[in-house]
Structure 1
Amino acid sequence: MSEHKRSPSKLGDVVASVLKHAGLTDRVAQAAVIPEWPALVGAQIAGVTEPLLLQQDGTLVVMVKTHAWMQELTLLEPQLLTRLNADPSRPPIVKLRWMLRR
């Protein structure tokens, strides 16, 4: 019985390989908009919203502080989607779903 010695792999490489084999690479890339939300939408909108999760169909669920902001953001959705989808290397966010924070 021979022992095969391998050099250690970088953790990032291992995670990338696991995600690729699981078919999750695109979903992870798409979900990168969540931590980037404040930079993508601006401080004012980021101050009254909180992105929660990305659904499988590409819908980003976002919590909003007030009904008034929810209405305003609904009107701004096309512009916000343009900002969120500015990076052509990742799959697009197809819709924003606004939920009132309780």
Structure 2
Amino acid sequence: MGEAAQAATAAPDEGFASAPADALARARAAARARGLRPGVKPKRRIKDVPGGAHKKGRDPMLLGDELDAFVTERGWKVDVAVGAVIGRWPAIVGPEVAQHCHPVEFVDSVLTVRADSTAWATNLRLMSNTLMATLAREVGEGTVSELRVVGPSAPSWSRGGRRVQDGRGPRDTYG
């Protein structure tokens, strides 16, 4: 047998040895493209299971899927996400921080948080990058674009018995 014949018979064997590795690499790339990650089981959808004796559309639907569709259809996705943040505020920021501040309003993707003292308001402003990252992870990127921290509200002393003519005002009496 000549050298060309030996090379021709050796080449297919080498190709067969790398074929399983190539197939595995293609399968992994396809799974990554579909959003699957190693170690995470794909969520099984009951919708994918073919129905029984009834016509299409009569099989029971998953309640969670129907609620998601309803919320999306009405355009309430952001409102529901923000409601979840307000409802789970202590779990998101931690119990110690939650004792000293609470969310007040959410308007045009700006979340306003009121602190119970000016010291805590300053502390929250310093922690705003960390809080924004946590909020993005909890409700999705871009839902909360700005975190506005305000201190405690004080009564106005512009009129009344405690008013001082040309005085400097109450200063930090309430915080």
Normalised to the residue count of structure 2, the TM-score between the two structures is 0.44
Asked if the contact 1:51–1:62 (Cα under 8 Å) also holds between the matched residues in 2, the reply is yes
Q: Who is 1:33 aligned against?
A: 85
| Superposition deviation, residue 24 in structure 1 | 2.0
- Inter-CA distance 61–20: structure 2 relative to 1 (3 Å threshold): same
List alignment gaps of at least 5 residues for structure 2: 1-63, 154-175
- The Cα offsets for residues 7-55 of structure 1, whole Å up to 9 and x where unpaired, read as xxxxx857x62x4343222232233211111111111110000111211
Identity of matched residues, %: 28
Could you tell me which runs of 5 or more consecutive residues in structure 1 were left unpaired when the two chains were aligned: 1-11
More strand by share: 1
Deviation at 1:67, TM superposition (A): 0.8
- Distance of 1:70 and 1:88 partners within structure 2: 23
Q: C-alpha distance in 2, partners of 1:88/1:67?
A: 27
Aligned residues: CA RMSD? 2.8
Whether the 8 Å contact between 1:26 and 1:91 is mirrored in structure 2 is no
Equivalent residue for 1:60?
A: 111
SS where residue 86 of structure 1 aligns? helix
Query: Which residue number in structure 2 is paired with residue 92 of structure 1?
Result: 143
Structure number with greater CO (CA < 8 Å, separation at least 6) is 1
Aligned length: 93
